[in-house]
Amino acid sequence: MARTRRVVSLRGLALASLTLALLAAAGVGVLMAFARPAATHAFFAAEGGGVQVIAHRGGAQLRPENTLLAFEHAVALGVDMLEMDARATADGALVVLHDATVDRTTDGQGRVDALTLGALQRLDAGYRWSPDGGRSTPFRGRGIRVPSLAEVFARFPQMRMVIEIKPADPALAAMLCALLRGAGMTQRVLVASMHDAVLDAFRATCPEVGTSMGPGEARLFYVASLAYLSDAISPAAQALQIPYGFGEQVLATAQLVAAARGRNLALHVWTVNDEARMHRLLGIGVDGIMTDRPDRLLRLLGRVPSAAG
């Protein structure tokens, strides 16, 4: 009797599992039927063929990061996009700085959001940059400042830019949107963030500006691509930006490239400074590579930099 009950129980479990699998398959089928690829955005209209060279923080191994000097050098090299980070000062100005504090990159100390724009711009943003591990600091004392985002827009109105909102503060969405609209940069900027709530707020406030996937969206898309189910996703973003790998696992694969292409997403990989990795990414057909060494990538592409390293 007990054995009979066990058999019946196992059959019931198998039937229930099969039913759930069929329901899941039907649900995925419905999602795929109604899912739509990302809408094409004007940000990508200027792209020619081939991989886009994206200067990470302006090319952080070539010039002091996130400064006008770095961006000028990257533009002179011939990069396709400038990548930078945005934070707010104590008096509500958006500035270009990666860290929450000024300690690592300037001669000052303290949190960015505790300093006014005037106080921040009195600091030396080239003070600590070194090409040789600290043995020399060639840009110290040369008047290099932390730029406001408005200054960057005014200096490079024709450049396309990737701007990452660093703080987990949705209030910055409205600030950035107003600045983009006022500067006429809504079609030349792609906005990213490591905070899903910030991106949700930005999309609601500034729907005309393109965005990258947030971490939650990117994880979902990556897992779906592994199961060949990415066609069930309707992206709210126009780009998928991911690291080259996570630990020993390489994230950027030909399978992911195909999945992104199927959803009309540009796939950008960061931060790649090694030429062997650049070669591999070029081979699988990624859309863009973020790098601290844009000079190396330009040479690999046969686009000889127009400015010396």
What are 241-287's pLDDT values in tens digits?
Answer: 999 998 889 999 999 999 999 999 999 999 999 999 999 999 999 99
Q: Is the pLDDT of residue 201 over 60?
A: yes
- Average pLDDT of 123-133? 97
Q: Is the pLDDT of residue 13 over 60?
A: no
**Taking the chain, what is the end-to-end CA distance rounded to the nearest angstrom?**
82
Q: Is the pLDDT of residue 15 over 90?
A: no
- Tell me the backbone φ, ψ of residue 36, rounded to 5 degrees: -130, 145
Q: Is the pLDDT of residue 206 over 90?
A: yes
- Angle 69-287-283 (CA atoms, 0-180°, nearest 5)? 110
pLDDT (0 to 100) of residue 11: 55
Of residues 27 and 302, more confidence is placed in: 302
pLDDT (0 to 100) of residue 33: 66
CA separation, residue 131 to residues 35, 203, 229 (Å): 48, 39, 45
Q: What single-letter amino acid sits at 144?
A: I
- Average pLDDT of 63-89? 98
CA separation, residue 73 to residues 65, 69, 223, 224, 238 (Å): 11, 6, 38, 39, 28
- Average pLDDT of 192-221? 98
pLDDT (0 to 100) of residue 307: 56
Q: Is the pLDDT of residue 309 over 90?
A: no
pLDDT (0 to 100) of residue 47: 86
> What share of the chain has pLDDT > 90, as a percent?
84
SS3 breakdown of the chain: % helix, strand, coil, rounded to 5?
Answer: 40, 15, 45
Q: Is the pLDDT of residue 172 over 60?
A: yes
pLDDT (0 to 100) of residue 1: 53
Dihedral, 225, 48, 193, 115 alpha carbons, nearest 10:
160
pLDDT band at 232 (very low <50, low <70, confident <90, very high): very high
pLDDT (0 to 100) of residue 270: 98
Q: Is the pLDDT of residue 181 over 80?
A: yes
Q: Is the pLDDT of residue 9 over 80?
A: no
Of 126, 162, 165, 187, residue with least CA distance to 290: 162
* Secondary structure (3-state) at 16: helix
- Average pLDDT of 77-84? 98
- Average pLDDT of 126-140? 97
Q: What is the mean pLDDT of the chain?
A: 91
- Average pLDDT of 100-122? 98
pLDDT band at 7 (very low <50, low <70, confident <90, very high): very low
Quick: pLDDT tens for 17-57: 443 333 344 344 545 567 999 999 999 988 877 999 999 99
